Structure 1
Amino acid sequence: MRSDQLSEVFELVEIRGVVAGGFAARGPWVARSPCRDSLKLVAMVSGHGRLLTDGLDEPVELAPGDVAILTNRSWLQHEGGSGTGPRRQIGPEENFTGLTDADRSTDDIVLGTAVDINPAGRELLLRAMPPVGHVRASAATNLRSLLNQLFEEVAGQRTGSTFAIRQYAQLLVLHALRAYLDQADVPPGWLRVLTDERLRPALELMHSEPGKPWGLADLAGAAAMSRSSFARHFRDVAGVPPLTYLSRYRMLLAQRALRGQDVRVGALAVELGYGSEAAFSNAFKREVGESPLRYRHRARNERQILGEVFPANAPTSNAPAGAVEGWGHD
């Protein structure tokens, strides 16, 4: 089985989907709210809607099974429904209220999913995403079925639904990003390079043994390309030269190790291919903005604070029936 660099990077940046809101409506309706999440999915489970947000001149028309991917937006407005009379204002505080009795054959049903990513992930992935991406169900056959399954769990409130919603939310993020990559002209960056078949053999070398002193000739040979062709194609796809990519990947691994392990900085430097602890610390500070020891101290303090605010046995934000307020989450 071939290695899966996209899954590896998703794990490194700790990407996590959280169903953060939803509503069902009949007749004319409009929902307005701030958008507090750096990456957010708005899914049209059934019915039709028009979505506006900052930076858009024309609304995005959402059909059943469509998903809008919002990146670093500050507000959104979503409207739909037919019939006469003024549009009914749907407040974000409604959350999942009313979904229990919702009917996909007659209602406009919308679910919002916030995507949590660690700081390194925000820097890597969001740079490769447009302000608004539109994933059409007509070109992503699995997406509509997945949304229907997610809706059934949210609306049904059955035993084990909280666990199921968490899993479906993760799959929704993956399917939406996959479909976006298939449908869109993705700008240079991590998402594009991780799905480039010509570069896959070179990426497998860097990801499987990141501490080896890979040279341009090694990587070009693995990709069966000349050094100049490989360097040019890699930069066109990734937006950075191959060895810069390798250095940044090493820093992702270093950040994960410093967040979750008691590894010595000197040992980590050797593992990632640096000749000395000082060389590693300098590279880390250039990329991350602070020393490895300071990063570890800050990351562990933040994790402790989060653990106190959200203890392990507390209800999760995926719990249905109004457990989360609004489209976003803090």
Structure 2
Amino acid sequence: MLGFQDPVADAIGLLRPRTVIGPSLRAVGTWALRFDPFLHVRIGGLVRGTCWLVLEGHEPVLLHAGDTFMLGNPPSYVLASALDASPRPAGPVLAGAANGFVWIGPESEDDLYLCVGHIAFDDQNAALLTDLLPPLVIVRAGDPHGYRLGQLIDHLATEVGNAAAGGPLVENHLAQILLVHMLRAHAGRTDRPTGWLGALNEDGIGAALRAVHADVAHPWTLQELAGISHMSRSAFAQSFKNHVGVPPLEYLIHWRMSLARDALARDTLSISELAKATGYRSESAFSTAFRRVVGTSPRTFRDEARV
């Protein structure tokens, strides 16, 4: 059976995140680093000091100690001590890291202390999350989520360069926890549709989403989902689309196909088994739906994934 109970855990699990943390940056004086565009998510925060974050197409943002940021599919951006500092490529600077740190200027207890990492996802389903994210999310230390995020950044920074057993595992889990809290912070303060992410904060719509994820093979109807949400069909359909951005049954189909892509890529089920697991009465019905959403047949998709 495909399907679980929590859409956030389901989606992030399906994305198969790969996390790379650090090195952390310690800097004093005048400096600026330009980072290349990066697919998926870059996340970080200031443990100490202040610095500017300058993202193409956005106003410069001054970060303070305890602030956390998340970049979704970011274009080129600059981190700098001052807006008039001339940036140099970040890659060669970071390549000179030692013991988990990059130093710019002399070592000092009054330096800036920045912890940054990136999270890459399985390309087949990355859009499940990246389509929901703006290029830049800032959570200030004084925001409702800020204190918890600041603690996570501080803990993550402590692990970077730490030779203790299990360090990489701790870093990976902390980064994913940080991602979830950043997603919660973003969903709680935006007015635009945020897909399954923001809809979970709505009692009725969230209940319907959890039901779909718990039993993706069930032949869900609009009437059933509306009943779970304690709404009329028309009110449920409109509310769901307002929050998620697509109609309920379209969401169901796309979630089923996301699960199918993952299973086909890993070759864990036959196509007939997968059809049944995703709620289709026949392999041909499943194949038709898969081709409409993905653009190719399940068999071709699986064969290409094997190659």
Which bin holds the TM-score, normalised by the shorter protein?
0.7 to 0.9
CA RMSD for the aligned pairs? Answer: 2.6
The number of aligned residues is 297
Q: What amino acid does structure 2 have at the position aligned with 1:92?
A: G
Q: What amino acid does structure 2 have at the position aligned with 1:5?
A: P
2:158 paired with 1:152: yes
Partner of 2:136: 132
Pairing partner for 2:285 from 261, 271, 279:
279
- 1:120 deviation in Å? 4.1
Q: Partners of 1:273 and 1:113 in 2: how far apart?
A: 38
Q: 1:243 to 1:98 in 2, by over 3 A?
A: same
Q: 1:223 to 1:88 in 2, by over 3 A?
A: closer
Task: Spell out, residue by residue over 1:118-154, the C-alpha distance to the aligned partner (whole angstroms, 9 max, x if none).
Answer: 2343222222111211122222211111111111111
Partner of 1:47: 49
Structure 1: runs of 5+ lacking an equivalent: 302-330
Q: 1:237 to 1:104 in 2, by over 3 A?
A: farther
Partner of 1:225: 231
CA contact (8 A) 2:27 2:113 kept: yes
Q: 1:137 to 1:186 in 2, by over 3 A?
A: farther
Partner of 1:36: 38
**Normalising by the residue count of structure 2, what TM-score does the alignment of the two structures yield?**
0.87
CA contact (8 A) 2:194 2:244 kept: yes
CA contact (8 A) 2:34 2:78 kept: yes
Relative contact order, higher structure (CA 8 A, sep 6+): 1
- 1:51 deviation in Å? 0.8
After superposition, residues 168-179 of structure 1 pair within 5 angstroms as 168-179=174-185
After superposition, residues 1-330 of structure 1 pair within 5 angstroms as 3-56=5-58, 58-80=59-81, 91-95=90-94, 96-97=97-98, 106-139=110-143, 140=145, 141-301=147-307
Q: Partners of 1:156 and 1:287 in 2: how far apart?
A: 45
Structure 2: runs of 5+ lacking an equivalent: none
Task: Spell out, residue by residue over 1:8-52, the C-alpha distance to the aligned partner (whole angstroms, 9 max, x if none).
Answer: 121122234321543110122111121222322232222111111
Q: What amino acid does structure 1 have at the position aligned with 2:236?
A: F
Q: Partners of 2:264 and 2:23 in 1: how far apart?
A: 34
Q: 1:65 to 1:17 in 2, by over 3 A?
A: farther
Q: Partners of 1:105 and 1:190 in 2: how far apart?
A: 43
Task: Spell out, residue by residue over 1:86-141, the C-alpha distance to the aligned partner (whole angstroms, 9 max, x if none).
Answer: 76857433334476598895221222221212234322222211121112222221
- SS state at 2:220 partner: coil
- 1:297 deviation in Å? 2.2
Q: What amino acid does structure 2 have at the position aligned with 1:37?
A: L
Q: Partners of 2:76 and 2:249 in 1: how far apart?
A: 38
Among all aligned residue pairs of Structure 1 and Structure 2, give the percentage whose two residues are the same amino acid: 32
Q: Partners of 1:114 and 1:289 in 2: how far apart?
A: 30
Q: Partners of 1:91 and 1:253 in 2: how far apart?
A: 37
- 1:246 deviation in Å? 0.7
Q: Partners of 2:302 and 2:85 in 1: how far apart?
A: 54
Q: Partners of 2:86 and 2:268 in 1: how far apart?
A: 56
- 1:198 deviation in Å? 2.3
